[in-house]
Chain A
């Protein structure tokens, strides 16, 4: 067997009293070993490091804020419960994203699709009101185009452009062949481009 199981290496790092902030510089593997040995503070640090990535994945997949919030929570609980099954020869992020992606796909399967409702405030960066309005409008159209993609095409797009995964990693997370990932991303981009050109976002950027 090639995989090294975390089980064989139980290491406690630090006591509960001294935990606040001490995990900042701790390596991921040490955190995972400590978490497996029952150290929930170490798992807290893992949550801190990955919560944005997991939330972004879930939000990208299900396109609904409340669902994404629940799914992020469930992903970290599920991963903790199944930590014993994680093998060190795989990247931890890929394993975690696989859990998040499976939970999200299940949620979509069992629930009618609700598009994300984003509050118009809370925009970040930029001070020129005209530029902000233009950017908001453009992003709203990109979001609408993403919403309209079939999940099978949207998922690799999210993993590629939000989670910055390689084709191989996307293939692992979604359990589909690498070639299929490339095809779907290509087709998804064609669909997005068409939809955005139609709504004016890519008008001046269309390439022939």
Chain B
């Protein structure tokens, strides 16, 4: 083979530099993928059923995605609607009710996910290293909740509803999109500033 010439070197340098320049985008990708896949894994006995549902034929999969998409839209609308009832805000903004008790101290943050037909709902985020913390629905009204003690800061998170990533919490302060999916953002301890 010919020895490397200037063009070889230029191409190699340019392509490598392009990736280095964007290396920050890849930070934590392995954790995201891990938690996304973990959300699909068997949990509490119903696992095998979920697994089979998640790995069907191509045609069935497309149909399933359509159903998930439609359900997602319903959840979004339902979420805003129901959250108004769950979190009395006195006319104020929903998101600020969820992160009330402003200041610089730790808070019990309420995570709420309306999912009437779900078998399991969990929240994953950078506060739990993207490993699922389950939400519960003891009265069976389809509103799943969890309280998590958090110190002041910015938190990215998403819900995992029956193994499906659900990154757009209507109660979030903000949303970020990375690696093809949405995550929600909550600010803890600074709610009063923006209110």
Contact A80 B7 (CB under 8 A): no
Give the residue name and chain of the B residue nearest to A116 (CB).
Answer: B18
Say whether B10 contacts A142, CB under 8 Å. Answer: yes
Nearest chain B residue, comparing its CB with the CB of A143:
B14
Question: Which residues does chain A contribute within 8 Å of B30, judged by CB atoms?
Answer: 44-45, 47-48, 51
Asked if A28 is at the interface (CB within 8 A of a chain B CB), the reply is no
Are A40 and B38 also in contact (CB < 8 A) when A59-B18, A146-B14 are? yes
Q: Are A69 and B14 in contact (CB under 8 A)?
A: no
Check B37–A80 contact: CB distance below 8 A.
Answer: yes
Find residues 161-195 in chain B having any chain A CB closer than 8 Å to their own CB: 178-181
Q: Hey, which chain B residues are within 8 Å of A139, CB to CB? A: 13-14, 17
* Residue of chain A at shortest CB distance from B22: A65
Tell me how far the C-beta of B27 lies from the nearest C-beta in chain A, rounded to whole angstroms: 10
Residue B41, interface by CB 8 Å: yes
Query: In the complex, what residues of A have CB within 8 A of residue B38's CB?
Result: 40
B77 interface residue (CB < 8 Å to A): no
A-B contact pairs, 8 of them (CB 8 A): A38-B41, A47-B33, A56-B19, A69-B180, A142-B10, A158-B15, A162-B16, A193-B7
Residues of B within 8 A of A138 (CB): 10
Question: Which residue of chain B is the closest to A120 with respect to CB atoms?
Answer: B21
Q: Which residues of B contact A (CB under 8 A)?
A: 5-8, 10-26, 29-34, 36-38, 41-42, 55, 178-181
With a CB–CB cut-off of 8 A, which chain B residues contact A65? Answer: 22, 25
Per the bound structure, the CA–CA distance linking A146 and B178 in Å amounts to: 26
Which residues from 68 to 108 on chain A have a C-beta closer than 8 Å to any C-beta of chain B?
Answer: 68-70, 72-74, 76-77, 80-81
A174 sits at the interface (CB 8 A):
no
Residues of A in contact, count (CB < 8 Å):
48
B134 to chain A, nearest CB (A): 16
Residue of B nearest to A204 (CB): B6
Contact check, A161 vs B17: say whether CB atoms are below 8 A apart. Answer: no
Say yes or no: B21 contacts A55, CB within 8 Å.
Answer: no
Taking CB atoms, residues of chain A closer than 8 Å to B33 are 40, 43-44, 47, 73, 76-77, 80
Q: Which of B15, B29, B31, B55 has the most CB of A within 10 A?
A: B15
Instruction: Choose from B36, B37, B41, B179 the contact partner of A72 (Cβ within 8 Å).
Output: B179
**In the docked arrangement, what's the CA distance between A80 and B39, Å?**
14
Judge whether A192 is part of the interface by a CB distance below 8 angstroms: yes
Residues from chain B with Cβ under 8 Å of A142 in the complex: 10-11, 14
The smallest C-beta distance from B89 to any residue of chain A, in angstroms, reads 35
A157 interface hit (Cβ, 8 Å): yes
Knowing A69-B178, A70-B179, A192-B7 are in contact, say whether A77-B36 is a contact too (CB < 8 A).
yes
- CB neighbours (8 Å) of B29 from chain A are 47, 51, 72-73, 76
Residues of A within 8 A of B10 (CB): 138, 142, 196, 201-202
Chain A 149-175, CB-CB to B under 8 Å as 1, else 0, gives 000000001100110000000000000
